[in-house]
Amino acid sequence: MDYLTLVEVFEKLEKTSKRLEKTFILSKLLKKTNKEDLEYIIYLVQGRIFPQWDRREMGLSSKLIIKVLNSVTGDSNDDIENIWSREGDLGKVAFILIQKNKQRTLHRQELTVKKVIENLRKLAGLEGKGTVNKKIQLVSELLTSANPLEAKFIIKNILGTLRIGIAEGIVRDGIVWTYFDKEIGFNYNEKENKIDVEREKYNFYVDLVQRAYDITNDYSRVALTIKTKGIEGLSKEKLSPGSPINVMLYPKAEDIEDAFNTIGKPCAFEYKYDGIRLQISKENNGNINIFTRRLENVTKQFPEVVDFVKRYIKAKSFIIDSEAVGYNPKTKKYLPFQSISQRIKRRYDIDSMSKKFPVEVNIFDIIYYNDKNLLNEQFKERRKILEKITKQIKLRLVLAKQLVTGDVKKAEKFYKEALTKGEEGLMAKNLEGIYKPGSRVGYGAKIKPTADSFDLIIVKAEWGEGKRSKWLTSYTIACNHDGELLELGKVSTGLKEKGEGITFDQMTKLLQPLIKEEKGRNIIVKPEIVIEVGYSEIQKSPTYSSGYALRFPRVVMLRPDRSKKDIYTLEDIKKAYNKQKK
């Protein structure tokens, strides 16, 4: 497919905010996409070039893009920066510059979707000497052949500033509308922006596609399977240890009684450990992989965990779900998440890190065992398998401590015991519950004392003043609302200039590579960094897009194990607000 065809669709998507219309535009595009381009198109509409769990980055800053534009159009850096500060978006800047450089069209070659994504993927593979020049070259090659509209979207794709609003749910529904339109009796009324479908059948196919996505985390793969192998192929889509699957998430219960109400009686209570969630898998060939809940591969960062599962779990293949908890190697006392969080990102001195900050693996679930998918097995059966195949060794690898009961008093005692031991609280689990990747369904619930803090994501930041001008010192934080990030205010306390704890320098280094737009002291960043924010009170506020603001917010800690999906939702904020009014 020509890249131009794709970007014209991007333009249409940009112009509408209606979900059904977006889905329809997407499905029209997919209908005319051939097998070869399908994978690419589905990544590109989502503003990415790899599956969600693949963390390779193109790694081009705004500054480098300005250099590219300079070399392609001949406009000076100053001119480009001026247009940028007027337009606020480098994609638009590329559009304007390419448009006024008409003579270049002489060298134009047709850009295909394949060519564009291939060049972008090459960016992500570059390392070492000469990288910067090669990057400039790869992007320049595309821009020389691009018309203004193509240039705009190439830049937006690189910088991650595509704003065409294709959330995961839209991709899923778009796939159903494209490939199962006859089965569901699909009809879209463009004028009224309404669809006609046979509801039951529609829900069946939506579930099917969602399920395939939950175990593959890759809509490109799901769509390609349907296109080439049909519905049979889709239902055969298998879990494969080695590629990560979305972990199951649990809603919050107010207390033990509330947990019984949602989960049922009796249920299993487990300690809720305060560590890093690790999904550990072993393939038949013995390969071990470890993923965080953001599906980041951290196998290299946890060599001792690889060793433990090899030694203490007897199975040819598996995928297990666990929490790695840090402990002090001298006193053997358990430590909170914060103390081991640095291990997730660490790329060097791994061995000394695992000695300094050792972890105990607490296994609480298994979803694949000796070539068998256990997603639809009952929790009590899954636990039995775990008990059969693990050799428990304290401070290395153990099963989550569990109590099965229907008695409020016994459960409350267990809860107190967990808290006294320094755990975060309890998890309550339905004994018959299946494992539902990605969803917060009622098969389990977490119970923990209400802390006045939320996990939120940084969307904007501000450079400091005076002697702090080299740092980003104030951060705008947001919560999630159906994939949209809504602001809750700014936080600037809780960080240090130097010494123990999070420093401004550290935060600046984390945010700088994520800068998407810069105007004076204000910057907009790619939403990647999750922080826990403490506060004294939640207030209603017309100033911020969430409608709420936090009073006396402070940064409690970084949450490198969490992503946009894991942060608090507007619903959570509302609940906490209503609760504090009581």
φ, ψ of residue 207 in degrees (nearest 5): -60, -40
Minimum Å distance from CB 43 to ligand AMP? 27
CB of 120 to ligand AMP, least distance (A): 32
Cβ proximity to ligand AMP, 209 vs 426, nearer residue: 426
Q: Taking the complex as a whole, how short is the minimal distance between the CB of residue 389 and ligand AMP, in angstroms?
A: 18
Nearer to ligand AMP, 41 or 530 (CB): 530
Please give the Cα distance from 435 to 358 (Å, whole number). Answer: 29
Cβ-in-10-Å burial (0-12, 13-18, 19+) of 426 comes to: buried
- Per-residue binder mask for ligand AMP (CB under 6 A), 50-89, x = binder: ----------------------------------------
Which residue of the set 22, 67, 152, 272 is catalytic? 272
- How many residues touch ligand AMP (CB under 6 A)? 12
Q: How far is the CB of 19 from ligand AMP (least distance, A)?
A: 27
For residues 99 and 105, what is the distance between their CA atoms, to the nearest angstrom?
A: 10
Of 96 and 445, the one with the shorter C-beta distance to ligand AMP is: 445
User: Which of 89, 214, 237, 323 forms a contact with ligand AMP (CB under 6 A)?
Assistant: 323
- C-alpha count within 13 angstroms, C-beta hemisphere, residue 88: 6
Least Cβ distance, residue 307 to ligand AMP (angstroms): 21
**Angle between the 199-216 and 219-235 helix axes, to the nearest 10 degrees?**
120
Q: Which is nearer to ligand AMP, 201 or 446 (CB)?
A: 446
Interface residues for ligand AMP in 225-254 (CB under 6 A)? 250
* Contacts of ligand AMP in 181-210 (CB under 6 A): none
d(CA 566, CA 576): 17
Rounded to the nearest 5°, which phi and psi values hold at 493? -105, 165
Q: How far is the CB of 292 from ligand AMP (least distance, A)?
A: 9
Q: Which residue is nearest to ligand AMP (CB)?
A: 277
Pick 517 or 532: Cβ nearer ligand AMP: 532
Between 41 and 335, whose beta carbon lies closer to ligand AMP?
Answer: 335
Grouping H, G, I as helix, E, B as strand and the rest as coil, residue 324 is: strand
Contact string (CB under 6 A) for ligand AMP, positions 249-278, x = contact: -x-------------------xxxx---x-
Q: Could you tell me the CA-to-CA distances from 459 to 65, 90, 285, 515 in Å, in that order?
A: 21, 18, 42, 10
- First-last CA distance in the chain: 59
Residue numbers 458-477 binding ligand AMP by CB under 6 A: none
Judged by CB under 6 A, the chain residues 288 through 317 that form the site for ligand AMP are 293
Rounded Cα distance, 233 and 544, in Å: 46
Q: Is residue 272 annotated as a catalytic residue, yes or no?
A: yes
Dihedral over Cα of 93, 99, 102, 108: its sign: positive
Quote the tokens at residue 290.
């470890």
- Share in percent of the chain as helix, strand, coil (round to 5): 45, 20, 35
Query: Please, are residues 346 and 291 in contact by the beta-carbon 8 Å criterion?
Result: no
Query: Where does 458-567 have alpha helices with state H?
Result: 504-511
CB 271, min distance to ligand AMP, A: 6
> Which parts of 377-416 interact with ligand AMP (CB under 6 A)?
400
Among 305, 301, 396, residue whose Cα is nearest residue 349: 301
Nearer Cβ to ligand AMP (145/341): 341
CB 548, CB 538: distance < 8 Å: yes
To the nearest whole angstrom, how small is the minimum distance from the Cβ of residue 455 to ligand AMP?
8
Using rule CB under 6 A, residue 446 touches ligand AMP: yes
On whether the CB atoms of residues 554 and 493 are closer than 8 A, the answer is yes
Q: Which is nearer to ligand AMP, 39 or 455 (CB)?
A: 455
Both tokens assigned to 219: 């809509």
Instruction: Name the residues annotated as catalytic.
Output: 272
| Residues lying near ligand AMP in the complex (CB under 6 A) | 250, 270-273, 277, 293, 323, 364, 400, 427, 446
